[in-house]
């Protein structure tokens, strides 16, 4: 597919910041950019469910639902605005939990070359490249060095750092790598932390409805007023919200949950209840992890692989609960069936984290 001038041209107000989101996913990074004052005019996302979610929540952005390798050209009328190209290429191959494909032989690990193809094409004023922390470590830093060199070869001054989402108000310990390139030669410092204490799981869960295992009713009212500041912000003026869907686990799995205290995992389950596992001692530490209510969550990733457990209910997390742990507001709705919704949330950049990266370079906009 070629995006031509007739169907892709965008005009924005002079003096503003406009953005192009590559590998956009459901739009978490775009949402943070918008909170920071960036008008995101184009987004490219291959997954049809994520693209549907993006369109629904970012109705003013033109979304290209296409493999980025098949998009030859986009035309953008800057009209005096500064252009920011940003995005996070697929990161499964760089994840520390994915050792089998964490190498240069995995073709998906080279998709970030498409990011720099678009940078070269669009010649933006600023670029923001996001990925998992593992990109620094994979194959002795080979991919990290390639990213930095690619920016420098395109005449950008580069700043790079790892940020923990919990330092910026996100109720989740999630470390992300950012590399920022400035065409104007600006060297950016790591964004200062915005909180003096971490936001907890309890603060973002306590007003949400109690749900059964396998909950299948998406639209639900809240069970009580929001007490914490973060819950009030994420909830806004809504009386009901969507995405209260929970994976239906077998009675055998639910029985295992009952043995696990907050902060515990599969190790707390009596051996006789784990007979279906060939080698129990090889279980990943994240399996059957029950969240601690008075701490931020562990990283939200693959729902079915991690099997994170609600802190005080014997079930997995709902899509909305996981979305709150990522700092998505409740008006933000995820589309598709439960599996695609879970994948979209797990793959997202927390909007609050994204916001604070973009605030280094743009005017402030209220959360």
Q: What's the pTM value of the predicted model, to 2 decimals?
A: 0.90
Indicate if the pLDDT at residue 365 is higher than 80.
Answer: no
- Look at 24-33, 104-113, 166-175 and tell me which has the smallest mean pLDDT: 104-113
Contact of 173 with 148, CB cutoff 8 Å? no
91 is catalytic: yes
**In the chain, which residues fall in CATH 3.90.120.10?**
201-347
- CATH code for the domain defined by 5-194+349-358: 3.40.50.150
pLDDT digits (tens, 9 = 90+) for 170-190: 999 999 999 999 999 988 889
How many CB atoms neighbour CB 236 within 10 A?
A: 11
Distance, in Å, from the CA atom of 85 to the CA atom of 18, rounded to the nearest integer, reads 9
Catalytic residue among 3, 40, 63, 91: 91
pLDDT digits (tens, 9 = 90+) for 291-322: 999 999 999 988 777 789 999 999 999 999 99
Confidence of residue 138 (pLDDT cuts 50, 70, 90): confident
Give me the architecture of the 201-347 domain, per CATH: Alpha-Beta Complex (3.90)
Which among 194, 192, 152 has a CA at the least distance from the CA of 170? Answer: 194
Which helix (DSSP H) or strand (DSSP E) does residue 43 occupy?
Answer: strand 38-44
Distance, in Å, from the CA atom of 78 to the CA atom of 42, rounded to the nearest integer, reads 12
Distance, in Å, from the CA atom of 196 to the CA atom of 180, rounded to the nearest integer, reads 25
**In the chain, which residues fall in CATH 3.40.50.150?**
5-194+349-358
Residue keyed to tokens 């970012």 = 58
| Cα first-last separation, the chain | 36
Contact of 36 with 359, CB cutoff 8 Å? yes
Percent of the chain's residues with pLDDT above 90: 75
Indicate if the pLDDT at residue 193 is higher than 60.
Answer: yes
Phi/psi region, residue 87 (left: phi>0; alpha: psi -120 to 50; beta: rest), is left
């Amino acid at each position: 597919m070629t995006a031509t001038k007739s169907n892709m041209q965008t005009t924005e107000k002079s003096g503003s910041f406009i953005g192009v989101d590559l590998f956009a996913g459901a739009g978490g990074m775009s949402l943070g950019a918008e909170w920071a004052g960036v008008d995101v005019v184009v987004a490219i996302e291959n997954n049809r469910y994520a693209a549907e979610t993006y369109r629904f929540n970012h109705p003013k952005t033109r979304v290209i639902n296409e493999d980025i390798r098949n998009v030859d050209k986009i035309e953008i009328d800057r009209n005096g605005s500064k252009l920011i190209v940003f995005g996070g290429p697929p990161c499964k191959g760089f994840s520390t939990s994915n050792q089998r494909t964490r190498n240069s032989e995995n073709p998906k690990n080279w998709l970030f070359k498409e990011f720099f193809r678009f940078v070269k094409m669009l010649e933006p004023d600023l670029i923001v490249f996001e990925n998992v922390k593992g990109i620094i470590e994979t194959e002795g830093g080979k991919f990290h060095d390639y990213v930095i060199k690619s920016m420098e070869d395109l005449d950008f001054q580069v700043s790079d750092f790892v940020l923990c989402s919990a330092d910026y108000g996100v109720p989740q310990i999630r470390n992300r790598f950012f590399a920022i390139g400035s065409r104007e030669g600006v060297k950016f410092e790591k964004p200062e932390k915005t909180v003096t204490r971490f936001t907890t799981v309890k603060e973002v869960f306590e007003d949400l409805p109690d749900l059964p295992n396998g909950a299948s009713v998406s639209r639900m009212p809240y069970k009580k007023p929001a007490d914490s500041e973060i819950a009030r912000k994420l909830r806004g003026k809504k009386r009901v919200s969507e995405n209260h869907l929970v994976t239906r686990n077998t009675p055998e799995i639910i029985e295992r949950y009952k043995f696990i205290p907050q902060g515990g995992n599969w190790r707390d389950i009596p051996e006789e209840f784990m007979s279906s596992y060939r080698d129990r001692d090889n279980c990943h530490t994240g399996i059957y992890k029950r969240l601690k209510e008075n701490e931020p969550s562990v990283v939200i990733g693959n729902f079915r692989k991690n099997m994170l457990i609600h802190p005080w209910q014997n079930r997995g997390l709902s899509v909305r609960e996981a979305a709150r742990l990522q700092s998505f507001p409740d008006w933000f709705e995820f589309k598709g069936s439960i599996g695609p919704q879970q994948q979209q949330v797990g793959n997202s950049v927390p909007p609050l984290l994204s916001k604070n990266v973009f605030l280094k370079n743009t005017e402030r906009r209220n959360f």
